[in-house]
Chains A and B, each alone.
Chain A
């Protein structure tokens, strides 16, 4: 945490909605009283399945003045366990980083720093159960962000509901919230 600014990193694959997750997280946090938020997608040649990164910075007190990306995040989202094999992502994980991983079962932590807090949530499973899907798989951002709400308390499900209603309308927000509720209830610490 640099200068009281909470830095969050997203690792996903094209189509797993990690970029929109970074933006939604900023919106949820701002709605819940953070004074400044900043969502940064790293955009290049977008392709389904290619590894992508996005970052969010949120701050309760000071305005955020840095535009640079996050090298060592406070929170690291892993939308797909295969991404943990990528050296760049492994190296960004520092001691004290909190990992939120989309996984059904505990992951192998060999080679990662010690004193990590690792949370897992079966976001893909929840999406399949609720048919909350697009062509490339589940819409993972909502369950992942609901898990983040439970872990951090930076915002709650009520805030998520309000923002989603405003952005997508009542009907779509309702389905989103069912998925969110399941993820919120099922996220667990495994370290």
Chain B
């Protein structure tokens, strides 16, 4: 991108009432992504529409928009573009993410700092296009960082923070930023689009013509990547390096969140988790994605009724905030974990609650955990229902007994029942 073209691109800080998907497109624009490749899939489609509009109208000079015929090709072309030394972006959802799955591993094992928005939706069949995080959680073991977003503003902010973390030379891994389909993607709220100069200052500089330090396309420095490693070679060691980078990313996420707060004034806890009235709480609830914002109000209302309840919003699933989870579980007497996703056959049936339990094993923390599954496939979870979930935990604290209607140890909340 030439200097003069960059100048036209600069926009002052403004607040717009926009759909979540439009906030995503604005984040990609603010981050000055150089290559976008995307294939439309509900409920992500408006991200693609808005980005192609930006690219076509000249609002994103220097950005190449690649049209492809499938999600598999999306990630293949993004991997190529990233290897060539560019900041890249794409977005997908549900079945599209699964179609992309093979190339997802190529991105992470090539250690490319690609940021991908996932507009999470239920997994078919039966067809379902509404909020459910099973899609992004199914990519748990791919070596991608992943985070859940609760508000429209957070979509914009989290995408910016993600580039800062992923492009750190100690991390160099791709990242998913997931938010609930329709609940955030198609609803509108005021979103602050930050001043371009400030965003430029916050983010690392775009890669120069030499590309990333570890992988590049340069005739003067030829390299072959993606080659075969025999079982006796360093395969296992390169896997370990991905895990090590992921664990180190936790610190980087905290730093990025701290710096973001300093620069833009919006706080997201320590980056990994965000607590709400948890300090003096007897009863805690861990929740992620869009359900978290409404849960804040449920906590407020129960506090008004005199219950000492608190909440923690899980912001990152990978890396999993093990130390924070231990500290939180230790500080409360009962902890509920709400999953808007399924992990069939796992210890709790919910992916995050299983992880929470695993994080507490071999510690002296004996806080009872209540796994809750709520809002699958975009099922609306009302404020009253969220208060009910908190009340179930309060009852558990008061009586010392688990609720009666558990199924395989888990509270499947809000099941339809004909009376």
Contact = CB atoms under 8 A, between A and B. Distances in A.
B382 interface: yes
Interface stretch (B63-71, B239-247, B292-300, B363-371): B292-300
Interface in B265-318: 290-291, 293-294, 296-297
Given A30-B17, A65-B294, A38 B380 contact: no
Contacts of A64: 189
A127 interface: no
A44 to B, nearest CB: 9
Contacts of B187: 38-41, 67
Nearest to A62: B297
Contacts of B15: 30
B182 A43 contact: yes
Contact of A37 (B19, B190, B296): B190
A26 interface: yes
B48 to A, nearest CB: 17
B297 A39 contact: no
Instruction: Give the one of B183, B187, B190, B380 with max A CB within 10 A.
Output: B187
A47 to B, nearest CB: 15
A62 to B, nearest CB: 10
Chain B interface size, as a band, is 20 to 34
Contacts of A161: none
Q: For the complex, would chain B's binding face be called helix, strand, loop or mixed by DSSP majority?
A: mixed
Interface string A35-58: 011111101000000000000000
A69 B290 CA distance: 14
B188 interface: yes
Contacts of B189: 26, 36-39, 64
B138 interface: no
Given A27-B17, A37-B17, A68 B380 contact: yes
B297 A66 contact: yes
B199 interface: no
A66 B292 CA distance: 10
A23 interface: yes
Interface in B1-32: 15, 17, 19
Contacts of B297: 65-66
B381 interface: yes
Contacts of A43: 43, 182, 186
Given A67-B294, A68-B382, A39 B190 contact: no
B188 A23 contact: yes
A65 B15 CA distance: 18
Given A23-B17, A37-B188, A38-B187, 19 more contacts: A26-B188, A26-B189, A30-B17, A36-B189, A36-B190, A37-B17, A37-B189, A37-B190, A38-B189, A41-B186, A64-B189, A65-B296, A65-B297, A66-B297, A66-B383, A67-B291, A67-B293, A67-B294, A68-B294
Interface of B: 15, 17, 19, 43, 182-183, 186-190, 290-291, 293-294, 296-297, 380-383
Interface of A: 23, 26-27, 30, 36-41, 43, 64-69
The 4 closest A-B CB pairs, nearest first, are: A39-B188, A65-B297, A68-B382, A27-B17
